[in-house]
């Protein structure tokens, strides 16, 4: 299939191409229905509304969400432990579920009987998956939902799925070659490993394998890794963002310029400390209200940091887009008595297009904290260039601490490196 064919059409055309007014009206309508249903059937939601002094009838638009508290992942795990298995968020008896999973936390994740329960089909279609595709799904199929979560939507789109699961790289290569596999689902770093394995076996992944399209999730995808894999296989690689609790939350289209919000949830970006609603371009925590009648999580804080844009996208989809996932909220650290939040640092570094990934390393020498910003720069100017003083003073303005800078080559920070690494010891 050509990329033009893979880029045409929409999965939920009316929703995905809605005008700003229609998008707002759609979300308001879904939210009103959700509030009424969840208040009636999910005791945890009843409790949450009652404590906030809010009635379902008070929720007429997404703006009214600000009257309700946020539930963090840690709180969800606590609620589940106090009131097993679902903490009062499930609206049906457990025997009406299709499957139940357990994620680290531990957190139980329900799957209702409706097809496409987790809503990844929009994302697969936008990436370019079509019914002609034969797809290996390399996510795990046991205990955690990943494998089946993606499989349900691949089947819904009409693809043929080979549930290869995790590992067995040699067999994955053999299957890809013998079955003419055109699609991959899994982690980008694993796809690179498959490609490297094929090369060791004397194959040229571009000529000897038929991979055209890939969908990756579960780790931060750097431009370097994406380009490497796309080049290695001669394919298109797109990513989605979601969680085990919520399913799909955002996905890339063919344009590769951010991840469109799903139409199956309402997404807010909130300041992790004050819970203030952030506007376009302002980093904050991804908070989700899930339009799911079985498991209606309301203002669920994912712990992931991101920012969004409302700039038009050439694909025709009108939903806002997450620009990128910047790390985890809970990586906050105290340096010289000042709190350093990953999102503050991300906001500062985002102003410098010359810098790719970055990492803050905190050390302690002679009882004094020291903070080094490692910056990946492809074409780093020589030392003494004014850019370094500009970066240093921007960090000082944003974080109130003076950093050391260390310039490193792109790729050296690793694919899923933490934003803050604390190397201090306290003996
Ligand atoms: Zn788009």
Q: Could you read off the pLDDT of 29-51 as tens digits, one per residue?
A: 999 999 999 999 999 999 999 99
63 CA from centroid of ligand 1 (Å)? 25
Identify which of 27, 83, 87 has the alpha carbon closest to the alpha carbon of residue 60. Answer: 27
287 CA from centroid of ligand 1 (Å)? 21
Average pLDDT, the chain: 93
* Structure confidence at residue 426 as a pLDDT band (50, 70, 90): low
Q: Is the pLDDT of residue 311 over 60?
A: yes
Q: Are 34 and 264 in contact (CB under 8 A)?
A: no
pLDDT of the residue at 272: 84
113 CA from centroid of ligand 1 (Å)? 30
Task: Tell me how far apart the alpha carbons of residues 115 and 121 are, in angstroms, rounded to a whole number.
Answer: 10
Q: Which CATH architecture has domain 332-422?
A: 2-Layer Sandwich (3.30)
214 CA from centroid of ligand 1 (Å)? 17
202 CA from centroid of ligand 1 (Å)? 38
What average pLDDT does the segment 340-369 reach? 86
Q: Are 184 and 210 in contact (CB under 8 A)?
A: no
246 CA from centroid of ligand 1 (Å)? 22
pLDDT of the residue at 411: 87
343 CA from centroid of ligand 1 (Å)? 25
Q: Is the pLDDT of residue 373 over 90?
A: yes
* Structure confidence at residue 274 as a pLDDT band (50, 70, 90): confident
263 CA from centroid of ligand 1 (Å)? 13
Identify which of 94, 81, 145, 100 has the alpha carbon closest to the alpha carbon of residue 118. Answer: 145
Task: Tell me how far apart the alpha carbons of residues 227 and 237 are, in angstroms, rounded to a whole number.
Answer: 9
Contact residues for 210 (Cβ-Cβ < 8 A; gap 6+): 176, 180, 181, 182
pLDDT of the residue at 375: 95
Q: Is the pLDDT of residue 427 over 60?
A: no
Q: Is the pLDDT of residue 422 over 90?
A: no
Q: Are 333 and 361 in contact (CB under 8 A)?
A: no
**Three-state DSSP class for 78?**
helix
Instruction: Give how far Cα 304 sits from Cα of 286, 328, 416, Å.
Output: 6, 5, 13
DSSP letters for 331-365: G-EEETTEEE-HHHHHHHHTT-TTEEEEEEEEEEE
Nearby residues for ligand 1 (ion, Cβ within 5 Å): 253, 255, 313, 315, 317
Which residues are paired to 404 by β-bridges? Answer: 372
8 CA from centroid of ligand 1 (Å)? 11
- Domain boundaries along the sequence of the chain: 332-422
Phi–psi pair at 227, nearest 5 degrees: -60, -40
What distance, in Å, lies between the first and last C-alpha atoms of the chain? Answer: 61
What average pLDDT does the segment 253-279 reach? 94
196 CA from centroid of ligand 1 (Å)? 31
Phi–psi pair at 311, nearest 5 degrees: -55, 140
Contact residues for 339 (Cβ-Cβ < 8 A; gap 6+): 332, 333
pLDDT of the residue at 335: 81
What average pLDDT does the segment 298-316 reach? 95
Identify which of 87, 107, 108 has the alpha carbon closest to the alpha carbon of residue 97. Answer: 108
pLDDT tens digit string along 121-138?
Answer: 999 999 999 999 999 999
Reading the block at residue 99, the tokens are: 């499957």
* Structure confidence at residue 333 as a pLDDT band (50, 70, 90): confident
66 CA from centroid of ligand 1 (Å)? 28
pLDDT of the residue at 295: 97
What average pLDDT does the segment 87-110 reach? 93
299 CA from centroid of ligand 1 (Å)? 25
Instruction: Give how far Cα 336 sits from Cα of 250, 333, 346, 367, Å.
Output: 37, 10, 20, 10
Q: Are 297 and 246 in contact (CB under 8 A)?
A: yes
Contact residues for 324 (Cβ-Cβ < 8 A; gap 6+): 220, 258, 306, 307
98 CA from centroid of ligand 1 (Å)? 33
Phi–psi pair at 408, nearest 5 degrees: -125, 160
Identify which of 37, 74, 101 has the alpha carbon closest to the alpha carbon of residue 301. Answer: 74
178 CA from centroid of ligand 1 (Å)? 34
* Structure confidence at residue 425 as a pLDDT band (50, 70, 90): confident
* Structure confidence at residue 104 as a pLDDT band (50, 70, 90): confident
**For the chain, what's the residue count?**
427
Q: Are 181 and 213 in contact (CB under 8 A)?
A: no
256 CA from centroid of ligand 1 (Å)? 7
| Percentage with pLDDT > 90 across the chain | 74
220 CA from centroid of ligand 1 (Å)? 19
Task: Tell me how far apart the alpha carbons of residues 90 and 79 are, in angstroms, rounded to a whole number.
Answer: 12
Q: Are 403 and 363 in contact (CB under 8 A)?
A: no
332 CA from centroid of ligand 1 (Å)? 32
Task: Give the least confident one: 119-133, 289-303, 370-384.
Answer: 370-384
Task: Tell me how far apart the alpha carbons of residues 246 and 74 are, in angstroms, rounded to a whole number.
Answer: 15
Q: Are 377 and 354 in contact (CB under 8 A)?
A: yes
Q: Is the pLDDT of residue 250 over 90?
A: yes
pLDDT of the residue at 367: 75
Q: Are 162 and 179 in contact (CB under 8 A)?
A: yes
Predicted TM-score (pTM) of this structure:
0.81
318 CA from centroid of ligand 1 (Å)? 8
Q: Are 310 and 285 in contact (CB under 8 A)?
A: no
Contact residues for 140 (Cβ-Cβ < 8 A; gap 6+): 146, 147, 165, 166
């Amino acid at each position: 299939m050509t990329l033009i064919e893979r880029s045409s059409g929409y999965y939920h055309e009316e929703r995905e191409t809605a005008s700003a007014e229609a998008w707002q009206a759609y979300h308001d309508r879904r939210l009103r229905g959700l509030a009424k249903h969840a208040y009636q059937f999910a005791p945890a939601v009843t409790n949450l509304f009652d404590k906030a002094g809010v009635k379902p009838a008070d929720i007429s638009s997404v703006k009214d969400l600000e009257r309700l508290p946020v539930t963090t992942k840690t709180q969800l795990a606590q609620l589940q432990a106090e009131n097993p298995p679902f903490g009062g968020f499930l609206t049906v008896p457990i025997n009406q579920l299709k499957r139940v999973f357990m994620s680290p936390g531990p957190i139980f994740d329900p799957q209702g009987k409706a097809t496409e329960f987790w809503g990844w089909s929009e994302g697969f279609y936008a990436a370019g998956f079509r019914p002609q595709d034969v797809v290996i799904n390399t996510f795990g199929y046991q205990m955690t939902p990943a494998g089946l979560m993606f499989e349900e939507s691949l089947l819904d789109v009409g693809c043929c799925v080979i549930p290869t699961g995790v590992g067995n790289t040699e067999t994955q290569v053999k299957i890809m070659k013998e079955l003419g596999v055109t699609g991959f689902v899994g982690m980008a770093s694993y796809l690179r490993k498959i490609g490297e394995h094929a090369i060791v076996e004397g194959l040229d992944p571009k000529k000897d394998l038929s991979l055209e399209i890939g969908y990756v999730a579960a780790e931060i995808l750097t431009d370097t890794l994406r380009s490497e894999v796309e080049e290695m296989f001669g394919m298109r690689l797109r990513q989605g963002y979601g969680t085990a609790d919520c399913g799909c939350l955002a996905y890339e289209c063919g344009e590769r310029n951010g991840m469109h919000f799903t139409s199956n949830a309402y997404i807010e970006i909130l300041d992790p400390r004050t819970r203030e609603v952030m506007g376009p371009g302002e980093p904050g925590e991804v908070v989700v209200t899930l339009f799911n009648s079985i498991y209606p999580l309301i203002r669920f804080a994912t712990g992931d940091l991101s920012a969004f844009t409302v700039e038009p996208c050439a694909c025709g989809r009108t939903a806002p887009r997450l620009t990128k996932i910047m790390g985890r909220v809970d990586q906050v650290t105290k340096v010289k008595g000042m709190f350093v939040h990953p999102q503050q640092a991300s906001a500062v570094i985002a102003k410098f297009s010359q810098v790719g990934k970055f990492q803050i390393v905190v050390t302690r020498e002679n009882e004094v904290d020291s903070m080094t910003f490692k910056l990946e720069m492809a074409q780093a100017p020589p030392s003494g260039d004014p850019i370094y003083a500009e970066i240093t003073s921007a960090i000082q303005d944003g974080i109130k601490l003076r950093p050391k800078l260390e310039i490193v080559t792109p790729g050296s920070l690793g694919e899923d490196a933490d934003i803050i690494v604390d190397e201090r010891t306290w003996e």
